[in-house]
Chain A
Amino acid sequence: MSEAAAIPAELAEASSARLTWLRFKRHRLALWAAGFLLVSYIVVGLCEFFAPYDPNWRNPRAIFAPPQEIHFFDHEGNFHLRPFVYGYELNINPETWVREYTEDPSRRYPLKFFSVGQEYEFWNLFNANLHLVTVEDGQYMHLFGTDALGRDIFSRVIYGGRVSMSLGLIGVVLTLFLGILFGGLAGYLGGWVDSLVQRAIEVIQSIPTLPLWMAMSAALPPHWSPIGIYFGLTVILSFIMWTGLAREVRGRFLAMRKEDFVVAARLLGASQMRIIFKHMLPSFTSHIITIATLAIPGMILAETALSFLGIGLRPPVVSWGVLLQQAQNYQVIVLTPWLLIPGLFVILVVIAFNLVGDGMRDAADPYGGRH
C-alpha cells in the first residue's frame, strides 16, 4: 500500500512553509479559530476604543444589574433603524428584599457607533474619547450587566482580556526562550549539562504545579506594583512551563543529530553553526511553534485559577481571573449568572488556541501524516 499518489506539480514544487500553510488552510475549524483569536487580540489591544466604559467606572443606578437586551422594535412595535437598549427600572422585592431590575419602556437609549463617549488615555499615550459603541451622556448601556459596584462587565471583560491574553503571550515567549535555551544546551552539549538539565526538569515536574504556583505567587512581595505582580506572575508561570518545551527540544536535537540529512551535511563539511541554523532548527521550528501555541491556554487557565484564589493578580488590575473571583460560590449562578460571562471568554479563547495548535500540528509535517 505504498503506492505514491500522483502529486500535482504545483504541490511538488511548493516550499515547506507554503505546504504548511496549504495544509493548515484545510482545517476549517483551525482557520476559524485563528481568525477569532486575531479579532480578539485586536479588540483587547485597542480595548479603550472597543470598551464603552472605563473598567473601574461605577454606575450607581445599576448594582448587580442583568445584561440589557439590544432591541430594534420598541414596546409599541415600531421599528428603529438604530438599535437601542432600555434603561433599568429597579424594584425591591418586598418579601425577599432582592433587587430586581426590569426594562423601563419609557427610557429608550439608542446606541451610537463611532461616537464620542467617556474620555480615556489610550495606551497611556494620549487622551481620546472615541468609542466603537456608546450611548448619550446620562444614559447607560450594560450588555453583560454590572457587578456589585455597578461596574460594566462588558468593558471589564474586554480590559480583562488585555491582561489575561497578553500574559499568555508574554509567558509563552519567556517559556520558549527558557525551553529552547536549556533544551538546546542539553541536547547539543550532552554530557553533564544534559544530566543537570534533565534532573532539574524532573524535579520541577514532580512538584504538583498548582500548589507550587500557589506557593511561589504567595511569595511575591505584597508591596509590588500591579505591573510588578503581573510580570512576577508571568515569570512564575514560565518557570514551570519551560520544562515541557525543553524536553521536546532536547529530544529533537538528539534525534536529529542522527538523521541522515544532518549526517550528510556534516560529511559534506558544513560547519556546526550552519548545521544547527540551516538544517536542524528549520526542521523543527514548526513543532516548537505548535507546542508554544498549545502552551498559551495553559498560561491563561493558570492565571485564571490563581487570580480566582486571590493569590494571582489582584484588584485594581482587571483580568479574567480577577473578574471570576466574584463568582466564588454557586449562589452566583442563581442570583447573578452574568458574573460568569468572563468564564465563557476564557473557554472560547482556550478552545481557539487548542484548535489552532492542533491544526498547526497536523500542518507542521508537510509530507507525512495520513490525514
Chain B
Amino acid sequence: MANYIIRRLLTMIPTLLVISLVVFILIQLPPGDIITSTLESMRQQGMEASDEQIEALKAQYNLDKSMPMQYLHWLFNFVQGDMGYSIKYQQPVNTLIWERMGYTVIIAIASLLFTWALSIPIGIYSAVRQYGWGDYFFTIVGLLGLATPNFLLALVLMYFGYTWFGVSVGGLFSPELAEAPWSWEKFVDLLAHLWIPMIVIGTAGTASIIRILRANLLDELSKPYVTTARAKGVRPIKLVFKYPVRVAISPFISTIGWLLPSLISADAIVSIVLNLPTTGPLMLQALLSQDMYLAGSFLMLLSILTVVGMLLSDILLAIVDPRIRYE
C-alpha cells in the first residue's frame, strides 16, 4: 500500500509540471504584459516613466530574461509560495488568494458530500427497482438537473430563498457578520448560507452519478457471484449492500477524480451569480482585466486541488478494491 501511494505521488510531479507550463503559457497569451499595463495606468495618472524606470520594472518582473528563464523564475517562486503581484489590486497575489481558496474548498467538499448523500441512495434504489415509478421519476429529475445551467438554477433558488425565507441569499455570510471574527454565531450563519451553493453545485454532479451508479449496479446485479450469494441464502438487503454496491462503489470512488474538477468549475460560475467570496468571481475579474498573474495562480492552485483530489480518490480506490494494489 505504501509502495502504491509513493508511486502514485511520484507520477503527480510530472503532471503538475506540465500543468504549470500550460498555465504559464496562458498567462503569456494575452497581448501586452505587466509593464505595458503599468505604464498605461501611470500615463492615465499623468506620469511619464523614464527609460531607467522601465528597465527597473522589467528587471523586477524578470521580463528582461528569456521566456524559459521567466517560466523557471515563475515556477521557482510559485513553489516557494510567492505567486507574484496583482496589478489590478496592487497587492501580492498571496494576500488575495488564500481565504478565497479556503471557501472554495469548503464549498466543493460540502457539495461533494451533498452529491453523495443524495445520489447513493437514489442510485441504489433506481437499480434495484429498475423501471419502477421511482426510477422514472428520478431519471426525469436527474435529466432536468443535468440540463439546467448552474447559473439559472442559482438564480431560481435565490429567488425562492428570497421570497420564502426572506434571507439575503447572496454571499456566504450575513452583512453584519461578514467582517466579524470567527464565532459560533458566524459558523451557523455560514451554514445558513451554504445550502444554496451546495444544492446548486451538487445537482449537476448528482444526476450523472446516479446514472453511473445505477448502470454499474445493474451490471453487477446480473453477475454470477450475486447468484452465488443468493444461493447461499444471503438476504436481499445485505445482498445488495455487501456485494454489488461494494463492487459498484469502486468506479464510483474514481468519480471523485472527475467530480472534483466539475465541482470547482460549477463553484466558479455559481459564486459569480451568488456573489460568494470564493475563487470564481476574483478569477473572472482578474481575467477580464488581464491581471494574468492572479488568474494564473488561481488556475494553478485549482489544478493542484484537483490533482490532490484525484490522488485521494485513487488511494481510496486501492483500499476498497484489492485488485488495484497488486497491479
Contact = CB atoms under 8 A, between A and B. Distances in A.
B15 A206 contact: yes
Interface residue tally of chain A, by bracket?
35 or more
A355 B144 CA distance: 11
A346 interface: yes
B112 interface: no
Given A219-B29, A305-B149, A311-B284, A210 B144 contact: no
B269 A305 contact: yes
Contacts of A332: 155
Contacts of A310: 288
A199 B302 contact: no
B95 interface: no
B158 interface: yes
Contacts of B23: 215
B82 to A, nearest CB: 21
A344 B162 CA distance: 22
Contacts, number: 134
A351 B143 contact: yes
Given A202-B15, A308-B149, A324-B152, A207 B306 contact: yes
A206 B303 contact: yes
Given A209-B265, A219-B26, A330-B158, A311 B149 contact: no
B159 interface: yes
A211 B283 contact: yes
A305 B262 CA distance: 13
Q: Is the interface of B mostly helix, strand, loop or mixed?
A: helix
Contacts of B269: 210, 305, 308-309
Q: Which of A206, A219, A330, A350 has the most CB of B within 10 A?
A: A206
B261 interface: yes
Nearest to B227: A1
Contacts of A205: 258, 261
Interface residue tally of chain B, by bracket?
35 or more
A251 to B, nearest CB: 14
Contacts of B156: 330, 333
B184 to A, nearest CB: 30
Contacts of A211: 264-265, 268, 279, 283, 298-299, 302
B302 A208 contact: yes
Interface of A: 199, 202-203, 205-212, 214-216, 218-219, 221, 297, 301, 304-305, 308-311, 324, 327-330, 332-334, 340, 343, 346-348, 350-351, 354-355, 370
Interface of B: 14-15, 18-19, 22-23, 26, 29-31, 143-144, 146-152, 155-156, 158-159, 162, 218, 222, 258, 260-262, 264-266, 268-269, 272-273, 279, 283-284, 287-288, 290, 295-296, 298-299, 302-303, 305-307, 310
